[in-house]
Each structure stands twice: as C-alpha cells, then as structure tokens.
Amino acid sequence: MTQAEFRSLFSHVTSRRLYFNHAAVSPLADPVLVAMNEHLERRHTGAPDTWGKAFAAAENLRGLYATLVNATTDRIALMPNTATGLNILASGLKWQAGDRVLLNEHEFPANVIPFRNLRRLGVELDFVKTTDGRFPLEAYENAITPRTKLLSLSIVQYMTGYRADVRAIAELCHRHHIIFSVDAIQALGVMPVDVEADGIDFLATGGHKWLQSPLGSGFLYLSKAIQDQIHQTHLGYMSLEHPEKFSDFEQPLSEAARRYELGAFNAVNCVGANAALGLLISANQTTVFDHVRGLVRHFSERLTETNFRPVFNFPEANGSGIFIFTHHDESKNQPMLEQITAREVVISLRDKGLRFSPHYYNNVDEVDAFIDILKSIG
C-alpha cells in the first residue's frame, strides 16, 4: 500500500488538525472504525453469527501479529496491554532470593512494576544509567552479575526516542544465559521487528500506539523454550486444548501460547485490531519506517529556523519515530504546548521536552505547517 493510499484511510487529515502523537495513542483508520461498528451492530441486533465472526477475527489477528514479528501463530497470545503480558513472564518464572533483573532508568513503568513485584521473593532490580539518553551495549555488559536472570528493555524509549541495538543486546544475554524480554510498544507498527533474527525470547506490547488499534488490544510472543519455563499462575477455560468441550475439566492445557488468554476476549477490540493490522502489514514495516524517519529528519533540519532545538542527537542507527525537542528556554515548554494544542496540533510533553511522533499517513506538508506554527509562537 502506498503512502497516499494509506493516508486516504484517515479522515481526520482533511481537517485542520495535525496529529503527531502516535507514541501516545493513534487515531483509528476509517476501515477500523467500520469493522468495529459492524461488529457492534451485529451484537446490538442479536445477529446469530456475531460470536463466530469475532472468533474468526481473533484467530486471524494472532496470525497477523505473528507475521508482523516473524513468528509462528502458536507463539502468539492476545493481550489487553503490555503490562499484562509482562506479568505473565514475571510471575511465571521460577525465582530464587538473590536473582536479579536488569532494566534501565528511562523505562516506562509497564516494564518495571511487574518486576518490582518480585522483590517480595528476594529478587533485586538493577538499573543501567543513561549517557545523554543512550544505553550502549557496554553499559548493559558492565551491569550484568552472576545472578542476573532476566534483562528487559523497551526497543524504543518513550521519553527519549532512543532505539536500542536489540540484536547485540540479545547476543549478550544469550552468551550469559540471561532471558531477553522486550517491551515493543514504541516499535511495532512503525519499524520492523523480527523475533527470530533479533534473538528475542519474550515480547509484549499494546496496540493503541503505532499499531493504530483500539485501546485494550495487544499481544505477547514467547519462545517455546520460555513457555516451558513458565509456571502459569492463572488458568481459564480458554487455556484448554479444547475450550469448546465445556464438561471436560481434566483436559490438558493448549500447547500454544493462547493458553494465556484465559476466557472471553474483547471482541470489538479484536475486530478493530484485525482491520488495523491488515492495513499496516500491507504497507510494509520497512517502508513505513523509512517514511517516518524521513519526516523526523526533515523536522529536525527545519527546527533550526525556530526558537526550538533538539534535546537528543542520536546516530541514525539509534533513531526512531520519536523526536524530542525543547524551546531554548525549557521553562516555556508547558505554555508552548498549550499554544500548540490551541492551534490544533497534537503532540505530547514528556520530561525534558516536547515529543513529536509522526506516522506513515503524515506528510512533509504537515511537518512544514507545524514548523510555521512553531515560528509564529516561539
């Protein structure tokens, strides 16, 4: 799908609004809204095929998620958010007092709090410190101890936009027999992720950001080797090998990752996410990333014409869809955001600066229009 074709699926682009806030939550494409409304209409009218169509959408969605990350469908489980997925990993592994989890100081809480809960078992958390927003491989290597059992990181940091060298960190983990887990919420939908080539053992994500799906949608991936290490702490009838056999209480659990889905799923979200993923996969993740990086570079170059400047300057290998910038007087960032918002531009304020995060449907003309606004208010 070309960029122009993709853009045509988002009605809001015909309004005054400039939307560059995909690192927070994305607008829904028109076909996603149509699919969700059609499901709700069938549910509203009691159509007898409502459950069957929703179940088929959920089955297809697992396959789309698998395609997105180069996994097999049996390694995918539908999840409502990143934290739920990470809790399955944190609560299911066998821990001993003195085991350690390695994180970094800029992680979003969803990738910290599930592991903080392990302190009650005597597990300790170690945090890699940042160097100008960067987390080089050496920083992780120096933080590893003989008791480090798991390393978890965001592929892209929400607060800085720094993109980790995932493959190098995975190799480091495996060399030290450490489980490698990623929070992919700021990566999937805007850049390629390959769990096989990248050496990822466990992945969790929500769908409402770059995947342009409904809030409350998402998934986890885990290798069979990691699944075999997890003691599942919660079970439901959908965990079973044949969930339709309601009277067979003694049947085994499914060998597939869907064993973690437990019970009735959020059907309208699955229907919407199924539509959204179909669009993104047809657009091709490498093509999407190249376009978005082009928009980010263009914005960065034109920012020199304003009273704003970049907060971080990462090499291209560590660039992402997120770009953090600030007014030369950082104390003005909040009032600047208010003026930007009043002009129908949607971005976020995160810690040290303003966060610009465009997607595939955005274009250079929109970026230039935003620069003109920054000139007028700066």
The model's pLDDT over 96-124, given as tens digits with 9 standing for 90+, comes to: 999 999 999 999 999 999 999 999 999 99
Same domain, 140 and 253: yes
Are 278 and 245 members of one domain? Answer: yes
- Whether 237 and 289 share a structural domain: no
Domain check: are 304 and 262 in the same one?
Answer: no
| CATH number for the domain that contains residue 355 | 3.90.1150.10
The alpha carbon of residue 282 and the mean position of all alpha carbons in its chain are separated, in whole angstroms, by: 19
At residue 275 the predicted structure's pLDDT band, cuts being 50, 70 and 90, is very high
| Domain hosting residue 333, numbered range | 3-20+284-377
Residue 29 lies in a domain: no
For 248-266, write each residue's pLDDT tens digit: 999 999 999 999 999 999 9
Whether residues 324 and 305 fall in one domain: yes
Residues 199 and 215 in one domain: yes
Residue 85 near residue 218 (C-beta atoms within 8 A): yes
- Rounded average pLDDT over 289-298: 98
pTM beyond 0.85: yes
List 324's β-bridge partners, or say none.
Answer: 355
Amino acid at 126: D
* Model confidence pLDDT, tens digit, residues 61-87: 999 999 999 999 999 999 999 999 999
Check whether residue 246 and residue 328 sit in a common domain.
Answer: no
- List, in order, residues 6 or more apart from 277 with CB less than 8 Å away: 61, 64, 65, 68, 211, 213
Is 33 domain-assigned? no
Is residue 91 domain-shared with residue 213, that is, in the same domain?
yes
Q: What pLDDT is recorded for position 351? A: 86
